[in-house]
Amino acid sequence: MSINRIFLATVLVTLINACTPKDTPPNFVVILVDDLGWADVKCNFPESFYDTPNIDKLATHGVRFTNAYSASPVCSPTRAAIMTGKHPNRVEITDWIPGQDPKNKKLLGPQDRTELALEEITLAEKMKEAGYITFFAGKWHLGDEGFLPENQGFDINIGGHHKGSPPGGYYSPYNNPKLTDGPEGEYLTDRLTDESIRFLKQNKENPFLLFLSFYTVHTPIEASKKFIQNYQKKRETLGLDSIPHKKEGEGWTKLLQEDAAYASMVAAMDENVGRLLNALSEQNLDENTWVIFTSDNGGLSTLFRKNAPTANGPLRAGKGWCYEGGIRVPLIIDGPKISSRGSVSEQPVISMDFFTTILSIAGIQHQQNDGVNLLPVLTGDSNPDRDAIFWHFPHYHGSAWTPGSAIRKGDWKLVLFYEDQRTELFNLAEDPGETNDISKANPEKAKELKTILDKKLKESGAKFPVVNR
């Protein structure tokens, strides 16, 4: 072979390699379910009343995190944390928008923002700067006109507006200014997935960020007609007539999953997760796409009344509480560089990590915020040097929660209540259900965690409730 022919062959190989899929920017799909509890998916809680075959299948292909947390026990702060990589304290969104702020309680909660400030740099804005097409479908709940997804870096917004629950319910007409009505009987969860699949097909040649933010399984509990009969029969077969509850403060925590309508909503969501993943495969996008599946807070199991929609298995309390049931959530991550498929990680992770992880995988430079890069966990290289993680929910909530904060460091967790400055200490390795307060038996450990919590609250600019005079 002559020198010229060798040169041309070398150039040709270089060009071919440059065009191979492994060198194209990876795509990202974030599936955020509203109020989905840690125990609402079968792969986390085999005793679950609900069936989630598609989510379970995703877990067999990716990495399932058993100690994954939302940034807050309620929705808007967690959503802001995912979008910015910042702790909710730093963006001044510490309650669901607009919150309740009752005036007849011992404390008055701090006034926080009712929108995600435009000055904040969002995940979508960073991706868009790098040439990604950015798509959002579903629940936004981070501000009204002028602060909607299209104002925060998303090229396309379908269904995202200021409401935290679907204003027209789960069946068309939706009464949603950002979503046209569908045919009679169309189910919202199906429709948002249809729109997401349509986006995939139209943009498969371009790198994209697809953020599917289901409204489900948030109230109102409106059954999927496709699945409701299955779960009504299942409930009858199991003879679930007596529903146990446990007192939690001034509220009640449901201890058994049995709501057929809620189960049908979980099933519809799971089916649509499967539809979206199948669409990725059919469009030959699955080999170069990262998928993150998670929830914005724990399941709604605790209310002032009995019989909330779900139960959180062995975890204590639910949405609105800084006990594990309110903040521990499902998390599965799948992607091209997963080293051990179907593996389980006990590494504590939190919502802010997604911002850092996605941008790091995409090779997009960004300012270090409050999250850590989870790629070393996913590739099996190492676990990140995880500092203590903490939560600050200084507001009253309809779940009977009173203002407080919490911190986890290693297996130790401290919960602080501001009405009486009471602290509770738990060892999660020995007591994941937080049934045994061991603060009196371990005063030095309680003091240590309280000192760290105070420091982190101060550093993050936390605002506190004040005495109601």
Q: What token pair was written down for 147?
A: 């602060």
Smallest CA-to-CA distance from 118 within 144, 157, 99 is with 144
DSSP labels for 31-90? EEETT--GGGSTTT-TT-SS--HHHHHHHHHSEEETTEE-SSSSHHHHHHHHHHSS-HHH
Q: What token pair was written down for 339?
A: 């080293």
- Assigned domain for 412 exists: no
- Assigned domain for 395 exists: no
- Assigned domain for 440 exists: no
Cα–Cα distances in Å, from 37 out to 263, 317, 324, 328, 403? 12, 11, 10, 8, 22
* List of residues 6+ apart from 110 with CB closer than 8 A: 94, 394, 395, 463, 464, 465, 466
State which residues form the domain around 192: 24-384
Question: At how many degrees (to 10) do helices 228-238 and 260-282 cross?
Answer: 130
- Assigned domain for 136 exists: yes
Whether 226 and 268 have beta carbons less than 8 Å apart is answered as: yes
- Assigned domain for 438 exists: no
CATH code of residue 225: 3.40.720.10
- Assigned domain for 43 exists: yes
Give the distance, in angstroms, between the CA of residue 167 and the centroid of all CA atoms in the same chain. 21
Q: What token pair was written down for 88?
A: 């909710």
* List of residues 6+ apart from 329 with CB closer than 8 A: 36, 37, 38, 68, 69, 70, 294, 295, 296, 297, 298
Q: Which residue stretches of 157-238 are H helix?
A: 188-202, 228-238
DSSP labels for 242-266? ---EEEETTEEEE-S---HHHHHHH
* List of residues 6+ apart from 237 with CB closer than 8 A: none
Reduced to 3 states, what is the DSSP secondary structure of residue 406? strand
- Assigned domain for 441 exists: no
Cα separation, 128 vs 168, whole angstroms:
32
- How many domains, the chain? 1
437 φ, ψ (degrees, to nearest 5): -75, 115
Q: One digit per residue, pLDDT tens: the chain, 469 residues? A: 444 544 444 444 444 444 444 578 999 999 999 999 999 999 999 999 999 999 999 999 999 999 999 999 999 999 999 999 999 999 999 999 999 889 999 999 999 999 999 999 999 999 999 999 999 999 999 999 999 999 999 999 999 999 999 999 999 999 999 999 999 999 999 999 999 999 999 999 999 999 999 999 999 999 999 999 999 999 999 998 889 999 999 999 999 999 999 999 999 999 999 999 999 999 999 999 999 999 999 999 999 999 999 999 999 999 999 999 999 999 999 999 899 999 999 999 999 999 999 999 999 999 889 999 999 999 988 888 888 999 999 999 999 999 999 999 999 999 999 999 999 999 999 999 999 999 999 999 999 999 999 999 999 999 999 999 8
* List of residues 6+ apart from 66 with CB closer than 8 A: 44, 344, 345, 346
For 109-148, the pLDDT digits (tens) are 999 999 999 999 999 999 999 999 999 999 999 999 999 9
- Assigned domain for 233 exists: yes
